[in-house]
Amino acid sequence: MKSTGILAVALLASTALTAQAETLRWARAGDSLTLDPHAQNEGPTHTLSHQIYEPLIIRDTSGEFEAALATDWAPSEDDPNIWVFNLREGVSFHDGADFTAEDVVFSINRAKSEDSDMKELLNSITEVRAVDDYTVEFVTDGPNPILPANLTNLFMMDKGWAEANDAVDVQDMEGGETTYAATNANGTGPFTLVSREPDVRTVLEQNPDYWGMDQFSMEVTEIIYTPIQNAATRVAALLSGEVDFIQDVPVQDLGRVNDTDGLVVKTAPQNRTIFFGLNLGADDIANDDVEGENPLANVNVRRAMNLAINRQAIQQVVMRGQSEPAGVIAPPFVNGWTEELDEVTTDLEEARSLMEEAGYGDGFSIQLDCPNDRYVNDEAICQASVGMLAQIGITVNLDAKPKAQHFPLITNDETDFFMLGWGVPTYDSEYVFNFLVHTRGDERGSWNATGYSNPELDEKIVSLASETDLEARNATIAEIWNTVQDEQLYLPLHHQVLNWGMTDSVGIEVSPEDDPKFKYFEMN
């Protein structure tokens, strides 16, 4: 009787614990590229990192600043070239080590290193120093009014853990390197890593020692993350109850999901623009049929391609209304965006005239590199654009592949015509210019695969980090955009719209950054 009673009590306790546990089964089209928090500046990679690691500052579900590992921050009263951050006390990493200013100094310096994909965000920082265990000073090359905005995806690592596991250096993704930090994690965040099979399944569990246990909902106790590239399979998993939450409901299935009992679709504009990039800087390119010259180097060809793309048709047919045609590669959330910049025009007659003027009246052929698991209907958008460009004599050979193979083509200058999407977490045009317009080099231009280089424009871009006169700064931003548009560096397509699908037991609003932070989720 005694042993039976003990067993019954144990079963009741187990049942109670099970009832309290809230597992969230999460799916999206593509996986995180790595667990190294500084190796890739890429949305799904940051989204997974946000569950495990934390920055000094985050953006909440509305896009506003919220204190994370820093409790407050402000320019120094004594020196305008210094920002002072006061750190949250009593925070520990998942392995139990204390979080201190030493870890901030280490993390920032690591993120500034050569292989880091985050270094453009930190290029105004000349020094970061620990004043004491919970105070850090950032010294910048001139006053930097937007420094805090550059830190919302800049994650803090444990210096001791990195040193002990040979993870001081950032993973060299472009070089194909795999490191301890790429497959293991030790953050301060609300969830700890249990297991990971890249592109298959990642399991996280709630961190019982998380500093924000009483400040956030923290109703999710386990996360099972399953990348499902195929759109039909992803929707089927939601409809059948195999998953509770998907970030990217295909536009063709919005009604089907929303009309299903127990399911809901939540929609919001995303802080992201989808566009095509062009290798206009090379004298000759490999993936065309024009010998000895580069047709993309001719601005009239680029303008013709821009006029040939019917963005309204893509919006209506491919996106089922779930996009906003774009004339500029910055979404409306961003400082520097204007309605005038964002105007779109389709004019096949003018496009053909420009092709004739450029000497390509008979057209040419070229390869378009496109991802098939990163953006909403990415491959379908590329397929539609193939037909549109054919109307002005450009034969496009489409090569679509997973983002893990697609993105290195851009960062390694191995593509001449490519799709890319760009979110702007700083909500400022400088972020776009630093990565996509500035001449490619050690500190800027890491995603500028156009080959475009304009030293005068580069100087203007660099000046934005230290210009405190906001009226003058905005005037410079406008000048840069005018050059970008006049040179037709990119072919904007549309501003993306987010559609999150979930069971009605999940409570959360759509973040414009498409970065669900599960500590906010409520489980009804």
pLDDT at 20: 52
CA 120/CA 453 separation, integer angstroms: 17
pLDDT at 496: 97
246 occurs within a structural domain: no
Burial 466-492 (b: 16+ CB within 10 A, else e): bbeeeeebeebbeebbeebbebbbbbb
10 occurs within a structural domain: no
Q: Let me know whether 179 and 305 are in one domain.
A: no
Side chain identity, residue 513? E
Query: What range does the domain containing 388 cover?
Result: 270-497
pLDDT at 365: 98
pLDDT at 61: 82
- Helix residue ranges per DSSP H, 293-428: 299-308, 311-313, 348-358, 378-390, 403-411
Q: Let me know whether 138 and 198 are in one domain.
A: yes
510 occurs within a structural domain: no
Directed axis angle between helix 299-308 and helix 348-358, to 10°? 160
CA 135/CA 131 separation, integer angstroms: 5
76 occurs within a structural domain: yes
Q: pTM score, two decimals? A: 0.89
CA 518/CA 51 separation, integer angstroms: 7
Contact 422, 329 (CB under 8 A): yes
Length of the chain: 524
Q: Let me know whether 367 and 304 are in one domain.
A: yes
CA 187/CA 37 separation, integer angstroms: 10
How distant is the alpha carbon of residue 487 from its chain centre? 26
Largest Cα–Cα distance in the chain? 96
Q: Which run of H or E residues covers position 196? A: strand 191-197
Q: Let me know whether 216 and 275 are in one domain.
A: no
155 occurs within a structural domain: yes
The pairing of beta strand 23-28 with beta strand 245-246: parallel
* Nearest C-alpha neighbor of 182 from the set 36, 361, 301: 36
How many other CB atoms sit within 10 Å of the CB of residue 321?
Answer: 11
Cα-only R_g, the chain: 24
CA 200/CA 373 separation, integer angstroms: 14
**Cα dihedral across residues 27, 29, 33, 37: positive or negative:** negative
pLDDT at 12: 33
The pairing of beta strand 364-371 with beta strand 394-401: parallel
Q: Let me know whether 57 and 181 are in one domain.
A: yes
Task: Domain count for the chain, please give it.
Answer: 2
Classify the phi-psi angles of 255: left when phi > 0, otherwise alpha if psi is within -120 to 50, otherwise beta: alpha
At which residue do the structure tokens 């695969």 appear? 449
Q: Let me know whether 284 and 211 are in one domain.
A: no
pLDDT along the chain (524 residues), means of 10: 34 37 94 97 96 96 92 96 98 98 98 95 96 98 94 98 98 92 98 97 98 97 97 97 96 96 96 98 95 97 98 97 97 97 98 98 98 96 98 98 96 97 96 97 91 97 93 98 98 97 95 94 93
Q: Let me know whether 473 and 415 are in one domain.
A: yes
Phi, psi (rounded to 5 degrees) for 98:
-75, 145
Q: Which two tokens stand for residue 28?
A: 């999206």
At which residue do the structure tokens 């961190």 appear? 207
CA 108/CA 157 separation, integer angstroms: 9
CATH assignment of the domain containing 435: 3.10.105.10
